[in-house]
């Protein structure tokens, strides 16, 4: 049982480049989330999807877009990467809006 | 703004010893409180989840307590092992859902032989 799978695990981008972070879960969860984790800070919510077909902004959405492709997959896109987006990105999923969240292994992104 | 404060920020303990991590929160209204373990380079993994009415919950050598009146929680690690070296994150869920989870910065624990 894979749980939440993120790809890639590591990525280096040049300023202005674009890329998409992929996330897939095999637990039949309805809700999915994208977080970023920076040194000395708690995880911060970028975007979330309460259910298939819906997406909403979180605490720090600027510079990002998301797509809930189907129930399993939730992608995060950086259209024009900036050094401030250097971070570790985590995807998570949960059965519903108040149930336990399960996290992926993370994507370490560096923007130079 | 909802806040979660954890202490100590970091600690070093000898293998086999016990330790207690603290979490104070101001989230209101409150649904549940969670403790996660995050190994270096990995994603957070759930240890315990407690609702408003629960005072204590155990998961092996990990025991979490909750005092909803004082808005305090603790995570006690018994007979620590080298594999307990990790960051322990306190997460408070408000009544209205996971999209408003409040994350602490974590307690960094290093267990030495």
Instruction: Decide if A58 and B99 are in contact by the 8 Å CB cutoff.
Output: yes
**Token pair of B54, please?**
């629960």
- All residues of chain B having their beta carbon less than 8 Å from the beta carbon of residue A105 are 42-43
Instruction: Decide if A43 and B4 are in contact by the 8 Å CB cutoff.
Output: no
Q: Is the pLDDT of residue B1 over 70?
A: no
pLDDT band at B99 (very low <50, low <70, confident <90, very high): confident
- All residues of chain B having their beta carbon less than 8 Å from the beta carbon of residue A98 are 31-32, 93, 97-98
- All residues of chain B having their beta carbon less than 8 Å from the beta carbon of residue A106 are 41-43
Q: What is the pLDDT of residues B55-78, one digit of tens each?
A: 999 999 999 999 999 999 999 999
**Token pair of B6, please?**
């954890």
More confident residue, B52 or B79: B79
A31 burial level (CB within 10 Å; 0-12, 13-18, 19+): buried
DSSP string, chain A: ---EEEE-SEEEE-TT--EEEEEEESS--SEEEEEEE-TTS--EEEEEESSTT--EE-S--TTEEEEE-SSSBEEEEESS--GGG-EEEEEEEESSTTSPEEE---EEEEE-
Mean pLDDT of all residues in A50-55: 90
Rounded Cα distance between A75 and A6, Å, is 9
Mean pLDDT of all residues in A48-69: 94
Give chain B's mean pLDDT: 93
Give the per-residue pLDDT at B2: 56
pLDDT band at B52 (very low <50, low <70, confident <90, very high): confident
């Amino acid at each position: 049982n894979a749980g939440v799978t993120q790809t890639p695990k590591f990525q280096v981008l040049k300023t202005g480049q674009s890329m998409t972070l992929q996330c897939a879960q095999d637990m039949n969860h309805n809700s999915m989330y994208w977080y970023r984790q920076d040194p000395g800070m708690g995880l911060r919510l970028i975007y979330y999807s309460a259910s298939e077909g819906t997406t909403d902004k979180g605490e720090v959405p600027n510079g990002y877009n998301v797509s809930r492709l189907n129930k399993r997959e939730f992608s995060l896109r950086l259209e024009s990467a900036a050094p401030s987006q250097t971070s570790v990105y985590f995807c998570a999923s949960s059965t519903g809006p108040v149930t336990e969240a399960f996290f992926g292994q993370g994507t370490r992104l560096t923007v130079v | 703004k909802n806040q979660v404060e954890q202490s100590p920020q970091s600690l070093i303990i000898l293998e086999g010893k016990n330790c207690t991590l603290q979490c104070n929160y101001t989230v209101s209204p409150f649904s549940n409180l969670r403790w996660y373990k995050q190994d270096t380079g990995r994603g957070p993994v759930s240890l315990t989840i407690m609702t408003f009415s629960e005072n204590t919950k155990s998961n092996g050598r990990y025991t979490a307590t909750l005092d909803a009146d004082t808005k305090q929680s603790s995570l006690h690690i018994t007979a620590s092992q080298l594999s307990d070296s990790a960051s322990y994150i306190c997460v408070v869920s408000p009544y209205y859902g996971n999209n408003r989870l409040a994350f602490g910065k974590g307690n960094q624990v290093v267990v030495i032989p």
